[in-house]
Structure 1
């Protein structure tokens, strides 16, 4: 079904946890992500109280003095605090982007006990000295990882993939949980100043929770920008470039952006669910004659992060 106000599909995933999810789930999922690449999911099973706790933790973190946040500044493992004006979405296919994103964020990834030289972006997270912060984020990350793995299975089956052995590459996934803070853009700011410039997500699945400020927009196939406001007790889920490639283009990786001209602070929390960095991503059997060549996910990440983040530009030389 479609939300008449926004034209963003709404998908009931209440049968997701069953051994045999309903056929309606597969058909509605494919319809949403083949045509638009974005949708709201309802009845996902994650406690709204936990979501509220995450937003409380985010506001507490972003309210900390800058010098405290900079003690855990983004490291080469892509963990820690990302200050405003330090990331730029460089994608000439979508927009002429020269100004940094007007957002700040805390980034956590999978918690590894140690960094491994043979596994790109492996290692422990950086945590602020903020009471109760880490347990809330780790609990939310665990719940989202469980949900994402189930959604990934539905995504592949809905696109016609018969052999799901690729799911094994998500047993040790590359995950990212990001606490984003978008200050309001100044009045009269130029049109090419964004909270988050137009971009596609580079991984497989993104699960987003957001506050009620608004500002997220997704580009429709005909080029129009559609608002994606908050829907109570829902998550916004979208497809990224790697899942687009796995499904041979059947599931769409869609441009989206954030423009916060509300005059108020905006907070959101996206979770990115991707395979192990060792995976060579290519169209899977059952999706038709391959339209894409294989690409190593770890190599792809190095290029993407090096283009968008000052920290990785420095580390890549």
Structure 2
């Protein structure tokens, strides 16, 4: 069973287990070990005692709900997404399943907030405060990962998010009740509807928080879908494709999707921590030196991978194109 992978930690670490989702308490000194195990087995975990002020969370959710409640004519003034701005209904140009409206923003605050309706005048400051706090938490988690992996340079990962050229983005998603969605047969079981189709995130790390509405599911190694119980006071962390490469496959990016709720709208906020566009995405040298002498992946920049990822279908295994081909015997 998946649980058995963590039983050896339970007696002396702050490990808890809820609905098969690893739980990490950032206030505990040995959380780095649980983070590493969770990234190896799931590529996903829940974070509590995260240090992000609840008032920042509540204020941004309120502003987001106000924006998505506006008439379509008002919201469309902030679009079409190119890629930043307001987008609706279609997930991508490649025929992917799903229905969602969203607002995609830059994290360097160069987005033109003046395009937002005057009724959302508090929006810019709410986004700024929230993103600052969440990025700080993401960097703390990446440094705990480095500790757990015994990487001497503790900021080997976090420095990429703190770089002024970091290509991190912030996205607000709104999923209406499923009465507005079409049936998506073959996805998620009988009677379910897809809000966002299955995919992995291409960046290094994703920090997700949603309102108290269910819908998020992750896929385990054997392909089983697990529903993630909603918790509006906690955060959920996804390992991205780039982090999988940087750990030479030791951490696995998690495939996930969103099912629409039958009666309640779902609002999610995702910080996608990405490196600078010119950054080479390669395994960390210290990890290659520990028994994995050869990289499993070809060398590429974040720009090259991002361009490839966003021209593919959501459900594609995007890293397949970048794997090294084993020499034939």
Shorter-chain TM-score tier: 0.7 to 0.9
Residue matched to 2:64: 58
Report the alpha carbon displacement of residue 126 of structure 1 after superposing the two structures with TM: 6.7
Distance in 1, Cα, partners of 2:76 & 2:150 = 46
1:93-134, CA deviations, whole angstroms, 9 ceiling, x for partnerless residues? xxxxx4442101011112365xxxxxxxxx756741222111
Counterparts of 1:241-280 in structure 2 under 5 Å? 241-280=241-280
Instruction: Name the count of aligned residue pairs.
Output: 283
* TM-score computed with the length of structure 1 as normaliser: 0.82
Q: Which of 300, 307, 322 is 1:302 aligned to?
A: 307
For 1:113-192, list aligned pairs within 5 A: 127-129=115-117, 130-163=120-153, 164-165=155-156, 167-170=158-161, 171-172=163-164, 173-186=166-179, 189-191=183-185, 192=187
Tell me by how many angstroms 1:139 deviates: 0.9
Larger Rg: 2
What is the rounded CA distance, in whole Å, between the counterparts of 2:219 and 2:32 in structure 1?
23
Counterpart contact for 2:211–2:231, Cα < 8 Å? no
Partner of 1:226: 226
Stretches of structure 2 lacking an aligned partner (at least 5 in a row): 1-14, 188-192, 315-329
- Which is worse superposed, 149-158 or 61-70? 149-158
Match for residue 31 of structure 2?
25
SS at match of 2:202: coil
Could you report, residue by residue, the CA deviation over 1:165-208 in whole angstroms, capped at 9, with x for unpaired residues? 45443322222111110112248713245211010011011111
Unaligned runs of 5+ in 1: 16-21, 91-97, 114-122, 310-317
Question: Post-superposition shift, 1:158?
Answer: 2.2
**2:54 corresponds to:** 48
Aligned mates of 2:252, 2:306 — CA distance in 1: 19
Give the Cα separation in 1 of the matches to 2:34 and 2:195: 31
Note the alpha carbon deviations across 1:26-64, whole angstroms, 9 max, x for none.
111111111001111011111112111111111111011
Distance 1:270 1:165, change over 3 A: closer
TM-superposed deviation, 1:302: 1.9
Q: Does structure 1 conserve the Cα–Cα contact (< 8 Å) formed by 2:160 and 2:275?
A: yes
Quick one: distance in 1 between partners of 2:275 and 2:113? 19
Let me know the Cα RMSD of the aligned residues.
Answer: 2.2
Shift of 1:141: 0.9
* Runs of 4 or more consecutive aligned structure 1 residues displaced over 4 Å after TM superposition: 123-127, 164-167
TM-score by length of 2: 0.79
In structure 2, C-alpha distance between the alignment counterparts of 1:159 and 1:231, rounded to whole Å: 29
Q: Distance in 2 between matches of 1:44 and 1:80?
A: 28
Which residue of structure 2 aligns with residue 120 of structure 1?
A: none
Cα distance between partner residues in 2 of 1:103 and 1:270: 14
**Distance 1:188-1:75 versus aligned 2 partners, 3 A rule:** closer
- What is the SS of the residue equivalent to 1:198? strand
Contact 2:146/2:156 (<8 A) preserved: no
Structure number with higher relative contact order (C-alpha < 8 Å, ≥ 6 residues apart): 1
Q: Cα deviation per residue 1:136-169 (whole Å; 9 max; x = unaligned)?
A: 0111011111111121222233234334445443
Q: Report Cα offsets for 1:226-252 as digits up to 9, x if no partner.
A: 111123521011110001110111111
Distance 1:159 1:124, change over 3 A: farther
